[in-house]
Amino acid sequence: MRWFTPSWQVLVAIVLCVVAAVLGPASGPEAGALADPTATIIYPYFTTKDYIFGLIFPAGAISMMRIPAVAAALVLFIGAHGAAWLLLSGIAGFEGTALAPFYLLLAAAWLLAWRCVTILSSLAPAGRGERMLLRLLIPAIFGLWLLIIWEAVTRGAGVPFVLLPPPSAIAARIANSLPILAADVKQTILKAVLAGYVIGCGAGLAAAILADRFGFLRRGLLPIGNMVSALPIIGIAPIMVMWFGFDWHSKAAVVVVMTFFPMLVNTVTGLAASGHMERDLMRTYAAGYWQTLVKLRLPAAAPFIFNALKINSTLALIGAIVAEFFGTPVVGMGFRISTEVGRMNIDMVWAEIAVAAVAGSVFYGVVSLFERAATFWHPSVRGG
Amino acid sequence: MISITPPVVAASGLSLTFQTSDGPVNALADVDLTIGKGEFVSFIGPSGCGKTTFLRVIADLEKPTAGSILVNGMTPEQARERRAYGYVFQAAALFPWRTIERNVALPLEIMGLSQTEQRERVKRTLDLVNLTGFEKKYPWQLSGGMQQRASIARALAFDADLLLMDEPFGALDEIVRDHLNKQLLELWARTNKTICFVTHSIPEAVYLSTRIVVMSPRPGRVTDVIQSTLPKERPLHIRETPEFLEIAARVREGLHAGHSYED
């Protein structure tokens, strides 16, 4: 066994560090200080630059030695994120002054993180808890680096705030506006989305069962349902506001219209999914329509119904937010986005977007959990 | 087999024509057959000879287009509504979201039996097909042979006197099939049910039956009815006896005769 296993990510990172060291100043003020040593110019990384090199070099070198994979990953994790932290905190207050070495060092730290994730992905721990932790940790590092690069580029290059605020500013805005955000979530998600989702999905399910029971409905309702689904939401939202008023009821109505059809179509398809043999079996038991529906056809349709519930969980959120652009009381996520854009408070817009993304993911995740519990028997869930 | 009660199945002049896009197909043409209580009747013939269709007519899953058929002296529809028969399909057709015991309890739930009655019957029938200990398993956790045994248990659970079996062991390998054939005979001897059994296999038909109905296709009709001379007690090695081979030869002849003018 060799005591040293090179990895290309680490080697490239070290090369980038060397190039950065040769190029010298990492920011405009630092270059100014070098050019005029007598002037007292405060510049980023006055004291921390050595620490950045001191994190990336040894972390990279140690990770390539023969040590346990977990230890190598840990060393890389500390090296990459320590360096990234120093880079990001140093540039604060000197936005837009970054020079090439800043980006080279950032790239070097990112390569170490890449190597870290590569090592973590190749781990196959025996324990259930450890596997779970890895499943969360790997995407977390991925997401974190998306934010780090976003932060570094917006600060380093001084991207105008209205174009793209750095994530730290968005996080600060979220932290400072919790009461407003909570009121918006309550108005849009807990009232409009949930009510509309429940009514829309419930009505779609009921309509599908009725269409299945009565042939004339199947022939008459499905084409019309098809047409309703093609209605542009931009067109119906103002009309719903006229009908149901400015409060959340009109947004719930938009959500109902949006979620109804996916549920209807999926359930109609699902109700036809049970096999001929199973249906003949129910017939030999002299089972009635409703017994066959409850004991055979609805359980067999469950994967289709959950598909619709998952599609609708994201549709409902989009529908409610967009509908709020067309008249609303002075609260709600869509209202906040449309007004704060007008006031150039782009960080607030991003804060709402972040909250909506988290809420949408949680919504989807909860529906998925229910799906796994209800359709555990389906080959796609039990795996095989 | 002669008794005062009406025969379990009495068909006369029974015909069934399917209307397909390629024109009418005569699945059954002028079939006369009477099945008495306690008989084990096998239906054998090539694909398309109407043996499954005949079983489905008994079960009221298909309607005949001509002729008459009575099941326990009633129309098939009345018999079905009184749950006069249990039907075992080619595949187990167990519901994957129900455990084995809940699958067996399915017909009992539909009949509205009490919980205690359901539990008692499920236990008894699972014991009958040697599946005790697998009550809490799901169908997809069992082998094909065990699944088919569970589906037989389900058909037995509501204790109908007539058992209709449509190639129940067709998809299983020979070793499992032998085993299940033996178990089926034991079950038949113990319960004294009437069994109608559709199969492709000559040895299976001869081994199991008291009577073998040989059928031929296009139009589906009965070409020969062979009364078995084998004793009721049948160990597996009875299949090597001259008597067994003689009956098998007659079945084969009947199958060939049905085919002769076709090609």
pLDDT at B5 over 80: no
Contact check, Cβ <8 Å, A281/B85: no
Nearest CA in chain A to B140: A377
Mutation for testing the B interface, residue in A276, A285, A290, A381 having most B CBs under 10 Å: A285
pLDDT at residue A92, rounded to an integer: 80
CA distance A13 to A76: 12
For residue A305, is pLDDT > 80? yes
Q: Does B59 touch chain A (CB under 8 A)?
A: yes
What's the mean pLDDT when you consider all of chain B?
85
Q: At what angle do helices A233-244 and A298-323 cross, to 10 degrees?
A: 80
B115 and B141, same domain (yes or no): yes
Highest mean pLDDT among A9-13, A217-221, A323-327: A9-13
Test the B interface: residue of A276, A277, A284, A291 with most B CBs within 10 Å: A284
Question: Of chain B residues 146-165, which have a CB less than 8 A from chain A?
Answer: 158
CA of A375: which chain B residue's CA is closest? B97
Residue B28 and residue B80 in one domain: yes
Which residue type sits at B37? K
Say whether both B123 and B147 belong to one domain.
yes
Q: Using an 8 Å Cβ cutoff, are A17 and A57 in contact? A: yes
DSSP secondary structure string, A30-64?
A: HHHHHH-TTS----TTTTTHHHHHHHHHHHHHHHT
Amino acid present at A109: A
Query: What is the fold, at CATH topology level, of the domain defined by A174-382?
Result: MetI-like fold (1.10.3720)
State the average pLDDT over residues A102-112: 92
Do B117 and B213 lie in one domain? The reply is no
Buried b or exposed e, range A293-302, using 16+ CB within 10 angstroms: bebbbbbbbb
**What 3-state DSSP class applies to A215?**
helix
Mean pLDDT of B33-48: 86
CA separation, residue A19 to residues A62, A107, A114, B156, B173 (Å): 21, 12, 20, 82, 70
Which among A358, A265, A249, A348 is positioned nearest to A307, based on CA atoms? A265
CA distance A305 to chain B (A): 15
What would the pLDDT profile of A338-379 be if each residue is shown by its tens digit? 999 889 889 999 999 999 999 999 999 999 999 999 888 888
> According to CATH, where is 1.10.3720.10 located in chain A?
174-382
Pair B241, B170 in one domain:
yes
- In the predicted model, what is the mean pLDDT of chain A? 88
Q: What's the structural domain count of chain B?
A: 2
Which pLDDT does position B129 carry in this prediction?
Answer: 80
Domain boundary among B159, B194, B216: B159
Q: CB contact, 8 Å: B138 with chain A?
A: yes
Q: Is the pLDDT of residue B31 over 90?
A: no
Of B93 and A4, the structure prediction assigns the larger pLDDT to B93
Of the partner residues B83, B86, B95, the one whose CB lies closest to the CB of residue A296: B95
Of B60, B93, B140, the CB nearest to A281: B93
Nearest Cα residue in chain A from B60: A284
For residue A296, the chain B residue with the least C-alpha distance is: B95
Q: Same domain for B184 and B251? A: yes
What is the residue range of B112's domain? 92-159
Percent of chain B with pLDDT over 90: 11
* CATH code for the domain of B261: 3.40.50.300
- Looking at the predicted structure, is the pLDDT value of residue B127 above 90? no
Q: B192 to chain A nearest CA, in Å?
A: 21
CA distance, residue A300 to nearest chain B CA (Å) = 9
Q: Determine, for residues A280 and B87 on separate chains, whether the beta-carbon distance falls below 8 Å.
A: yes
Which residue, chain included where needed, has tokens 């689904």?
A229
Joined together, the tokens standing for residue B198 give 């559709």
Measured CA to CA, the distance from residue B34 to residue B69 in angstroms comes to 10
Per CB-CB distance under 8 Å, the chain A contacts of B89 are 277, 280-281
| Statement to judge: residues B211 and B199 lie in one domain | yes
- Return the ∠ at Cα A99 (arms to A96 and A100), rounded to 5°: 135
| One domain for residues B230 and B245 | yes
Tell whether B168 is within 8 A of chain A (Cβ). Answer: no
Q: What per-residue confidence (pLDDT) applies to B262?
A: 47
pTM, two decimal places: 0.81
Among A281, A306, A380, A382, pick the best mutation site for testing chain B contact (most B Cβ within 10 A).
A281
pLDDT at B263 over 50: no
Could you tell me where the DSSP H helices lie in chain A? Answer: 8-23, 28-35, 49-63, 69-91, 100-122, 128-156, 167-176, 178-185, 194-213, 215-230, 233-244, 248-271, 276-284, 289-292, 298-323, 333-342, 346-374, 379-382
Task: Tell if the CB–CB gap between A378 and B96 is shorter than 8 Å.
Answer: yes
Q: Of B131, B159, B187, at which residue does a domain stop?
A: B159
Kindly list the residues from chain A whose CB atom is less than 8 angstroms away from the CB atom of residue B102: none
Does A285 contact B91 at a Cβ distance shorter than 8 Å? Answer: no
| ipTM exceeds 0.95 | no
Say whether pLDDT at A151 is over 70.
Answer: yes
pLDDT at A384: 57
Above 60 in pLDDT, residue B1?
A: no
B137 and B33 part of one domain: no
Q: Which helix (H) or strand (E) holds B23?
A: strand B23-35
Q: Which residue of B lies nearest to A283 if distances are taken between CA atoms?
A: B61
